Amino acid sequence: MRCTKCRQDACLEIRRHNAAFCEACFLGFFRDQVVRAVEHEKMFRRDEPVLVAVSGGKDSLALWDALLELGYETTGFYIGLGIPGYSEPSREKCETFAAARDAKLLIVDLEAEYGLGISETAQRTRRPACSACGLSKRYLFNKVAMDHGFGVIATGHNLDDEAATLFGNVLRWQTGYLGRQAPVLPEENGLVKKVKPLFRLAERETAAYAILRGIDYIVDECPNAVGAKSLFYKDLLNQLEAASPGSKQAFLMGFLEHAQPLFHAQEEVALHPCERCGQPTTTPLCAFCRLREEVARPLQRRGRGRRAKRWPGPRPTPPAPLPLREGGEDGPTLPAPIPDREGGVPEARWSALPLLVKEKEDRALAEPAPPFPDREGGRGG
């Protein structure tokens, strides 16, 4: 296969654009997509300092690398979440990345600075870890950006993340979330502007960029993400994409153009400063301060009012699980798995990349989503 731009051997095919690229042209394509997002969506100016939230994963480090290469003024921001076996290596990836580029990296440790390590908080409050984590990240993104004088914070959310979030929100018609799902959330009422410059790029493209640029990123998913609905939705959308390239992008871009403004118009939320910390909230105390209070409360009082709702009579028998892809005897027939999925890494497309790269990539992208997850993935922007 030849590169669409220069006719040399291609190393990556991008079916939704009906294109294939060699290494150099792919890096150019990737950066063009970032610039297009930043400029077209008016995310930030060339000379405007941007705080880039980095997790140590491929997306956010690829984003930071691309912005640095493009000459934007960036500072990295890493939150130590206190997840054993995951947070330490993630932090090291961010530190190594920043040191190699002589870039500034801010680090906040949730455990040390707020007593809110995610694993312990989840245990003590009996919340799902991802809920405490999402809440803490949103809070710190805003607070740290404000405290350090940044008017804008960028995250590494990509096209697959955004399409999966949209899918989940549409499935349950979460109109509030739909109104706030956008590549740019403007500054308002004490909230700094939030932007997603990778929203035009698919996950396998951010992985390819990170690998081709020699970025050492953390390949493993957060252990708490196992079973997350968002991974299941990504898998479904990848099957659709394989059968009909461009569906994912059409789904997201169509929503942003035609539907998001309608949901956004219905959204009027009055924010005011938290009585304790001054961060914007709709309640007297913000969710983060309430979480801290909950964690600090003595054990015997914790958990009140959190008991599972009881059924008035005997529990109804749950329906038999639907077969995931093959029709069972009684269940509906669902389509057979589609081979060569977009999210997977078909052999031929990657053969031009070194073996080592492929091995890392296979692990990063080709792991199947587990069936029937029971936990909520992150939603909304």
Least separation in angstroms between CB 9 and ligand AMP: 31
78 binds, among ligand AMP, ligand FES, Zn ion, none (CB under 5 to 8 A by kind): ligand AMP
Residue with structure tokens 């939320």? 269
276 binds, among Zn ion, ligand AMP, ligand FES, none (CB under 5 to 8 A by kind): Zn ion
CB under 6 A: which stretch of 129-137, 184-192, 194-202, 356-364 binds ligand FES?
129-137
Please select the residue that binds ligand AMP; options are 12, 29, 72, 156, rule is CB under 6 A: 156
Helix spans in the chain (H): 23-40, 58-69, 87-101, 110-114, 118-125, 129-147, 159-171, 175-180, 203-212, 229-243, 247-254, 260-265, 287-296, 347-350, 355-365
DSSP-derived 3-state class of residue 121: helix
Least separation in angstroms between CB 236 and ligand AMP: 18
CB 125 within 8 A of CB 302: yes
Distance separating alpha carbons of residues 305 and 294, to the nearest angstrom: 13
Please select the residue that binds ligand FES; options are 12, 79, 130, 286, rule is CB under 6 A: 130
Please give the full DSSP string across 337-368, using - where no structure is assigned: PPSS-SSS--HHHHTTS-HHHHHHHHHHH-PP
Of 67, 69, 72, 33, the closest CA to residue 49 belongs to 72
Least separation in angstroms between CB 133 and ligand FES: 3
CB 371 within 8 A of CB 188: no
Least separation in angstroms between CB 283 and ligand FES: 23
**Tokens at residue 263, please?**
């949901």
Please select the residue that binds Zn ion; options are 276, 297, 302, 358, rule is CB under 5 A: 276
* Neighbour tally for 363: CB within 10 Å: 12
Q: How many CA atoms lie within 13 A of 337 on its CB side?
A: 10
Residues 211-270 that bind ligand FES (CB under 6 A): 222, 224-225
Closest to Zn ion by CB, 253 or 277:
277
Residue 367 identity (one-letter amino acid): E
Least separation in angstroms between CB 51 and ligand AMP: 10
Considering the rule CB under 5 A, would residue 277 count as an interface residue with Zn ion?
yes
Please select the residue that binds ligand AMP; options are 155, 165, 206, 249, rule is CB under 6 A: 155
CB under 6 A: which stretch of 93-101, 125-133, 158-166, 346-354 binds ligand FES?
125-133
Residues 41-60 that bind ligand AMP (CB under 6 A): 53-55, 59-60
130 binds, among ligand FES, ligand AMP, Zn ion, none (CB under 5 to 8 A by kind): ligand FES
Considering the rule CB under 6 A, would residue 193 count as an interface residue with ligand AMP?
no
Considering the rule CB under 6 A, would residue 131 count as an interface residue with ligand FES?
no
Considering the rule CB under 6 A, would residue 207 count as an interface residue with ligand AMP?
no
**Tokens at residue 187, please?**
């500054």
Q: What are phi and psi of 76, to 5 degrees?
A: -85, 155
Applying CB under 6 A, which residues contact ligand AMP? 53-55, 59-60, 77-79, 81, 137, 155-157, 378
Applying CB under 5 A, which residues contact Zn ion? 274, 276-277, 286, 289
